[in-house]
Amino acid sequence: MNKVALVIGAGDATGGAIARRFAREGYTACVTRRSLDKLQPLLEQIRAEGGVAHGFASDARKEEEVVALVDQIESTLGPIEVMVFNIGANAPSSILDETARKYFKIWEMACFGGFLNGREVAKRMVQRGGDGHKGTIIFTGATASLRGGANFAAFSGAKMALRALAQSMARELGPRGIHVAHVVVDGAIDTAFIRDNFPERYALKSEDGIVNPEHIADSYWMLHSQPRDAWTHELDLRPYMEKF
């Protein structure tokens, strides 16, 4: 069976670019979104580029769906060598207007889903034979992983918790041959969301002022390719003009 790269939250920008990058390296790209229809353009693109891709409609917040997804991939397609958790859940709101329902949903999407998917994949990885590199788990973080901003209480709380999850998993699983990494993307990404909602920021694209998803994907491949005597746990990516 071929080695599998599983991308949870394979959107039109970052997640899709990561899936395509690993497919170009010979991995079977397994990609998820809640809607299978939205995955079709990505699946067609990977296949047109000569890669192998499978799409799955899966809600990363639902334990039974996550367990079934990992079981299906491992039993029918191959061992999951790489898992990327790439769900964003960036929905700003004033703390004065935030609802309990939306706050909890953002935590479920950005943090709890990371726990469910990370746990299920790690269970399989630790069972691999040998004493070498048994797999890579990468969590996509954001500026909010490091500091909370006005109107981002829910998002920053969830992203900070995801970062803590990544640290705990790395300290437990690293000695068992599993590379756990957390990537802080500190800057606007070249997406339709940024284009439509932040046109002034998007205008910086011509000056390399927003992050190219393809370059994020290159960094994810680099993390997976690292020798285990020099693993990176946390990597931050930002345009040269971004303040930090």
Express each pLDDT in 156-196 by its tens digit. 999 999 999 999 999 999 999 999 999 999 999 998 888 98
Model confidence band, residue 55 (pLDDT cutoffs 50, 70, 90): very high
- Which amino acid, residue 97? D
CA–chain centroid gap for 189, Å, is: 14
In this model, does residue 213 exceed pLDDT 70? yes
Model confidence band, residue 70 (pLDDT cutoffs 50, 70, 90): very high
Report pLDDT for 129.
Answer: 77
CA dihedral 123, 134, 36, 186 (to 10 degrees): 110
Stated as kind and residue range, the H or E segment containing 139 is strand 135-142
In this model, does residue 132 exceed pLDDT 90? no
Pairing state between β 80-85 and 135-142: parallel
Report pLDDT for 244.
Answer: 85
Regarding the domain delimited by 4-234, which CATH topology (the fold level of the hierarchy) does it fall under? Rossmann fold (3.40.50)
Phi–psi pair at 203, nearest 5 degrees: -65, -15
Q: How far apart are the C-alpha atoms of 53 and 55, rounded to whole Å? A: 7
Residue range 196-210: average pLDDT?
91
Q: How far apart are the C-alpha atoms of 149 and 238, rounded to whole Å? A: 18
Q: How far apart are the C-alpha atoms of 58 and 99, rounded to whole Å? A: 25
Q: How far apart are the C-alpha atoms of 137 and 115, rounded to whole Å? A: 11
| Phi-psi map region of 39: left, alpha, beta (phi>0 left; psi -120 to 50 alpha) | alpha
Supply the mean pLDDT for the chain. Answer: 95
In this model, does residue 138 exceed pLDDT 90? yes
Q: Where are the domains of the chain?
A: 4-234
Residue range 133-156: average pLDDT?
96
Helices marked H in the chain: 14-24, 40-48, 63-76, 100-107, 113-125, 153-173, 192-197, 199-202, 213-225
Report pLDDT for 1.
Answer: 67
Contact indicator for 27, 2 with CB cutoff of 8 Å: yes
Biggest CA-to-CA distance, the chain: 53
Tell me if residue 205 falls in helix, strand or coil.
helix
DSSP E strand boundaries for 86-134? none
**Token code pair at residue 167:** 């640290």
Sign of the torsion angle spanned by Cα atoms 119, 37, 182, 143: negative
Report pLDDT for 90.
Answer: 87
pLDDT digits (tens, 9 = 90+) for 87-119: 988 888 999 999 999 999 999 999 999 999 999
In this model, does residue 130 exceed pLDDT 80? no
Contact indicator for 224, 179 with CB cutoff of 8 Å: yes
CA dihedral 157, 161, 162, 164 (to 10 degrees): 140
- pTM here is 0.96
